[in-house]
Amino acid sequence: MDFRQDFIKFAIECDVLRFGEFKTKAGRLSPYFFNAGLFNDGQSLGQLAGFYAKAAASSGIAFDMLFGPAYKGIPLVAAIAIALAGQGQNYPFAFNRKEAKDHGEGGTIVGAPLSGRVLIVDDVISAGTSVRESVELIRAAGAIPAGVLIALDRQERGQGELSAVQEVQRDYGIPVIAVAGLKDLMAYIDKHPALAEHRARVADYRQRYGVDA
């Protein structure tokens, strides 16, 4: 089993990936829900970071440091940096504050100075707001956004014909890498009879709203 299938299994076991009926921000009734905030203990966060590290390595994206947008990106970027260091790849990392600090060192960036090729890490891309803010911060510092690394790509249309991920790739000219996507979830369901009851609804949802990877 490849790491993407392992990740789907892990997310289901942690109850981060659930099946049922859930209303999305777009007002759609989705047959599944992914809440990365439920990776909320040391063991699960460490395992999650390991999956991110594998996705980064398999992507072929060259980068010099990591950046995590506040707030969800903050624990992620630290954990991923630790996971990569454990593999002998010691990358600097940084994250931003929502509000600029007016005392001490000041500013909005915490951690290593933004420089070189910066890989942005986040949980998912919905409206792409945090990615836009991250790209602006990175470019303002004279650094280069190298790509975005997320946990799950729902691979469904936004307001137009493109997905949120595709819109980011189009608007900023940078790749978006996901640990897993909807197609990986479908493949996992197909291999596990215990999940067969969910297949038809997930497949129908993908048919109605899905986009090509």
Catalytic residues: 101, 103
Q: What residues contact residue 95 under an 8 Å CB cut-off, 6+ apart? A: 67, 68, 69, 70, 73, 74, 77, 78, 109, 110, 111
Sorted by sequence, the CB contacts under 8 Å of residue 212 that are 6+ apart come out as none
Joined tokens for residue 1: 């089993």
**Where in the chain does DSSP place strands (E)?**
17-23, 29-34, 65-68, 93-101, 107-111, 117-121, 144-153, 176-181
For residue 195, give the DSSP letter: G
State whether residue 24 is helix, strand or coil: coil
Residue entry with tokens 């002998």: 88
- On the CB side of 99, how many CA atoms lie within 13 Å of its CA? 2
Q: Which residues contact 173 (CB under 8 A, 6 or more apart)?
A: none
